[in-house]
Chain A
Amino acid sequence: MNKITNASIGSSIKKIGLKQEFSSMLILFVMFTITAILQDNFFQPNSVVRNINAFAPLILLAMGQAVVIISGGLDLSAGAALSLLTCVLTYVMRQDEPITGVYAIVIAFAVAVLIGVINGIGIGYLRIPPVILTFATSYIWLGAALFIRPTPGGESVKWFKIFYDTKSAEGVPAFVKAIGSVFQPALVLVLVGCLIWYVISKTKIGRYIYAVGSSNDSAYATGINTAKVQMMACIINSVFIFLAALFFVGQNQSGDARMGDPMTLRAIAAVVVGGIALTGGRGSVYLAIVGALILSFVNKIIFFADIPNAYQTLVSGLIIIVAIAGSVAYSYINKKAVGRESK
Chain B
Amino acid sequence: MDTMKNLNDMSIAQKGSLSVMIDKNKKTIVAFLLIIFLFILGEIVVSNFFSVGQVLLTIKLSSFIALFALCQMIVIAAGGGGLDLSVGFTATLTAILTAVLMDGKNENLLLAILVALAIGAVIGLANGALVSYVKLPPLVVTMAMASIIQGIINVYTAGKSITGKPAPILQTLAAQSTGIFPNILFVLIFMAVIVMIILNKTRWGLKLFGVGTNETNAYLSGVDVKTVRMVAFIISGAVAGLIGLLLIGNMGTAFKDMGSSYVMPSIAAVVVGGVSLAGGEGNYFRVILGSIFLQTLTNLLVALGWGDAGKWLGFGIVLFVLLIAYVSDRRKR
Direct touch of chains A and B (CB < 8 A): yes
Residues on A lying within 8 angstroms of B by beta carbon are 76, 122, 125-129, 131-133, 135-147, 150, 217, 220, 265, 268-269, 278, 308-318, 320-321, 324-325, 328-329
A-B contacts, 17 of them at CB < 8 A, read: A122-B324, A127-B329, A131-B83, A135-B139, A135-B319, A136-B319, A139-B264, A140-B316, A143-B315, A146-B313, A217-B333, A310-B158, A312-B154, A313-B147, A317-B150, A321-B130, A325-B134
CA distance A243 to B154 in the complex (A): 32
Contacting residues of chain B (55-90) with chain A, CB-CB under 8 angstroms: 81, 83
Q: Which of B140, B308, B319, B328 has the most chain A CB within a 10 Å cutoff?
A: B140
Q: How far is the CA of A126 from the CA of B329 in the complex (A)?
A: 6
- A135 B267 Cβ-Cβ under 8 A: yes
Known: A127-B328, A147-B309. A137 touches B320 (CB 8 A): yes
Q: Which residues of B contact A125 (CB under 8 A)?
A: 330
The answer to whether A139 and B319 touch across the interface, beta carbons within 8 angstroms, is: yes
**Do B312 and A265 touch (CB < 8 A)?**
no
Whether the Cβ atoms of B313 and A320 lie closer than 8 Å is: no
Chain B: which residue is nearest A129 at the CB level? B81
Shortest CB distance A217–B (Å): 7
- Give chain A residues whose Cβ lies under 8 Å from the Cβ of B20: none
Contact A147 B313 (CB under 8 A): yes
Known interface pairs A125-B330, A325-B136; 5 further A-B residue pairs with C-beta atoms within 8 A, sorted by A's residue number: A132-B327, A278-B140, A313-B147, A317-B144, A321-B144
Separation of A142 and B307 alpha carbons in the complex (Å): 13
Q: Is there an interface contact between B155 and A310, defined as CB atoms closer than 8 Å? A: yes
Q: Are B154 and A122 in contact (CB-based, < 8 A)?
A: no
Q: Which of A133, A137, A145, A308 contacts B158 (CB 8 A)?
A: A308
Contact assessment for B143 and A265 in the assembled complex, using a CB-CB cutoff below 8 Å: yes
User: B320: which A residues are within 8 A, CB to CB?
Assistant: 122, 133, 136-137, 140
Q: Assess whether B316 is in contact with A139, with CB atoms less than 8 Å apart.
A: yes
Name B's interface SS: helix
B151 within 8 Å of A by Cβ? yes
Q: Are B312 and A142 in contact (CB under 8 A)?
A: yes
Q: How far is the CB of A75 from the nearest CB of chain B, in Å?
A: 12
Whether A315 pairs with B151 at a CB distance below 8 angstroms is: yes
CA of A310 to CA of B151, assembled, Å: 7
Q: Residue on A with the closest CB to B265? A: A139
Interface pair B312/A320, CB less than 8 Å apart? no
Given A136-B319, A150-B307: A329 touches B154 (CB 8 Å cut-off): no
Distance in angstroms from B280 CB to nearest chain A CB is 15
Q: Does B324 lie within 8 Å of A126, measured CB to CB?
A: yes
Q: Is B226 an interface residue (CB 8 A)?
A: no
Contact partner of A314 (CB less than 8 A), chosen from B152, B267, B310, B327, is B152
- CB-based nearest A residue for B151: A314
A127: chain B residues at CB < 8 Å are: 328-330
CB distance B330 to A320 under 8 Å?
no
